[in-house]
Amino acid sequence: MKVIQISLYLLPHAAASRRGALEGLFAGGIAATLGSFYAQRRWAYYRNFPPSLKLLSVLIIAAPTLSIQAERRGLEYDKSQWEGEGARLLQVQEQQELSKWESMSAGDKIADWASRHEYSLIIGGWAMSLIASGVIINRNKYQSPAQKIVQARMWAQGLTIGIILTAAGFKTTRNKGETASRPPPDHSWMEVVEQHERERQEEERMKARLASAQRRGAPDVPLTTDYRLNTSAAGPGTEPDLKKAQAWHPSDEYALLSIPGPANEQDGQHMLEWRVTLAGFPMTIRKRLVKLIERTSSSKTKMLDLPLSKDDLAAINAHLRTLTPEEILKWAVESIPGLYQTTAFGLTGLVAIDMLSKITSSPPPLIFLDTLYHFEETYELVEDVRRRYDVPIHVYKPKGCETVADFEKKFGQRLWETNEDVYDFSIKVEPARRAYQDLGVKAVITGRRQSQGADRATLQPLEADETGLLKLNPLFEWTFPFVEWYVAEYNVPKNKLLDQGYRSVGDWHSTSKVGEGQSERAGRWAGKEKTECGLHRNYFSMQERAEKAVGGFVFSRELLC
């Protein structure tokens, strides 16, 4: 807040008043002197006045003009010092007064003018009554000039007291009326000052919080003032409603925000992606940034007691939905015991691997279910990841099978065509179960996202499956462009097939390229109704279907388990 030093304000105010006083004295003095000369020439009885009385008649005019003009100049100076919001308020007030004045009757206008100039009227009244009584008393031949002056002053004083009493009575009546009809006092100036003060304190608090978060090892995020947006999704020129941002990811240069767009009949509600350049942030984003930094730098969290009740799960999800993927991962690393990441090295899983490598020096170990039918490029990617990230990879294959030959010896060729339920169970569902039991897995991070649609459209950040396994989906709200952006931005290793027209990669026999405008997973089991490999379906029903398909429990135990 601006503090005005008294000397800086008072000295120019006094100078302005002095200038006004001189102007008033000069103008009043000249007018009164000219008037005195005129009276001297014109009226014999004025010529008979002693010089002191003539001087008094000049002073009577000059003194009020001096004080009135001095006050005017002082007020003018005060007004010139108002600036910004203050000046605006003054203008509004003047405007209100003008319209009030225009709506008044002639009588009210006179009363209003009189009340605003009461001191000028009193001084003027005193002067006029002194002159008038002087003129009347001067006609008395029997009094000496000194007696006449004393008597004129007495008359003038009496008249002036009369004027003052009338003004006081008039003012009291007026005040009573005004108090009854007066609108509540206008405290808007106080609001302006308070608002400025609140903003200043908020800014201070943010700086302090940011500094403290940074001391605790949070990333250094640039906070400047210029703020630009660009979007392809909503069209240029529109601005996102930042309060609705559901997911966002700050990098060194910009943040990606995911905000629900307008619903339409074809796609229903869909998300819009915004790229916000971090040349600077508005206050709303800055606040979220500070929160984010605080969260990412917060210290230890208590480990969860498993299993979770439904209510606990709902409460945790309500919390996780407000976090970024990195925050969710950090929370999981700190609070979920027995945490692993299950991955087929899809783009989403790769993003999570990269984020985890920046969050912790001992990221959750990876579980890769080697179906034996992966593309060569996928196996190459496994090695790339092994080289780039210091994370253990547990590879699980179909039970008792090291090679395709082993698998086909057991189940025959093209099992995915001859018996899909058995295929899904034996290449993914059973090996996964085995891995979870061998390794003591309590929770897995998955690469599923809501925007992949079908069963995943309502995906939550944390789920508990029918076996009690927790599944964490940190990128549940990210869309494909976000994932692609992250991979490119941080040079995350990816499947070479993605540069050849594939978007989601599974087994070679059930994966195809996708055309322009097709959905991300259109190339998986193309032409079939199937949308999931079974890994994320109900374990017990998958097991039951596979057992039925191979001819009952006894036989299935041998073949499948």
Smallest gap from residue 429 Cβ to ligand PPS (A): 11
Using CB positions, name the residue nearest to ligand PPS: 349
Stretch that binds ligand PPS, among 235-243, 303-311, 384-392, 527-535 (CB under 6 A): 527-535
**133, 231, 446, 451: which one contacts ligand PPS (CB under 6 A)?**
446
Is position 506 an interface residue for ligand PPS (rule: CB under 6 A)?
A: yes
Could you tell me which residues come within 8 angstroms of residue 144 by beta carbon, excluding any fewer than 6 positions away? none
| Piece in contact with ligand PPS (CB under 6 A), picked from 76-84, 251-259, 283-291, 440-448 | 440-448
Looking at the Cβ atoms of 46 and 476, the one nearer to ligand PPS is 476
Contact call for residues 496 and 377 (beta carbons, < 8 A): yes
Residue 260, token pair as written in the block = 């629900």
Residue written as token pair 């093209």? 414
- Considering only residues 447 through 476, tell me which ones interact with ligand PPS, judged by CB under 6 A: 447-448
401 part of the active site: no
Q: How far is the CB of 369 from ligand PPS (least distance, A)?
A: 3
Residue 411: which H helix or E strand, with range? helix 404-411
Helix (H) or strand (E) holding 190: helix 188-215
The first and second tokens of residue 150, run together, are 């004393």
Choice among 149, 221, 245, 533 that is catalytic: 533
Complex with ligand PPS: residue 330 or 503, whichever CB lies closer: 503
Residue 490: half-sphere exposure toward Cβ, Cα within 13 Å: 21
In angstroms, give the least distance from the CB of 404 to ligand PPS.
15
Residues forming a β-bridge with 394 = 367
Taking the complex as a whole, the smallest distance from the CB of residue 522 to ligand PPS amounts, in Å, to 12
Q: Which of residues 339-398 bind ligand PPS (CB under 6 A)?
A: 342-346, 348-349, 367-369, 371
Interface with ligand PPS includes 401 (CB under 6 A)? no
- Where do we find the tokens 């014109």? 42
Return the closest-CA partner of residue 306 out of 149, 396, 440: 440
Q: Sign of the CA dihedral 408, 411, 413, 416?
A: negative
Q: Quick one: 129 or 543, whose CB is closer to ligand PPS? A: 543
The yes or no reply on residue 533 touching ligand PPS (CB under 6 A) is yes
- Token duo for residue 41: 């020439």
Q: List CB contacts of 401: < 8 A, sequence separation 6 or more.
A: 372, 407, 410
Name the minimum Å distance from CB 431 to ligand PPS: 8
Tokens of 420: 């899909």
Contacts with 123 (C-beta within 8 Å, 6 or more apart), sequence order = 63, 64, 67
Binding segment (CB under 6 A) for ligand PPS, from list 166-174, 446-454, 511-519, 551-559: 446-454
CA-to-CA distance for 130 and 63, rounded, in angstroms? Answer: 13
Give CA separation, 47 vs 36, 53, 56, 142, 381, in Å.
Answer: 10, 11, 14, 18, 120
Q: Pick the piece of the chain touching ligand PPS (CB under 6 A) from 16-24, 190-198, 261-269, 530-538.
A: 530-538
Chain positions 43 to 72 lying near ligand PPS, rule: CB under 6 A, are none
Convert residues 19-48 into a mask of x (bound to ligand PPS by CB under 6 A) and - (unbound). Answer: ------------------------------
| Complex with ligand PPS: residue 304 or 429, whichever CB lies closer | 429
- Count CA within 13 A, CB hemisphere, residue 193: 8
Amino acid letter, 192: V
Q: Which is nearer to ligand PPS, 288 or 471 (CB)?
A: 471
DSSP labels for 332-354?
A: HHHH-TTEEEE----HHHHHHHH
β-bridge mates for residue 254, sequence order: 277
Between 46 and 539, CB nearer to ligand PPS: 539
Which span (263-271, 414-422, 493-501, 533-541) binds ligand PPS, by CB under 6 A?
A: 533-541
Give the residue numbers annotated as catalytic, written as ranges: 533
Q: Residue numbers of the site for ligand PPS (CB under 6 A)? A: 342-346, 348-349, 367-369, 371, 446-448, 504, 506, 532-533, 535-536
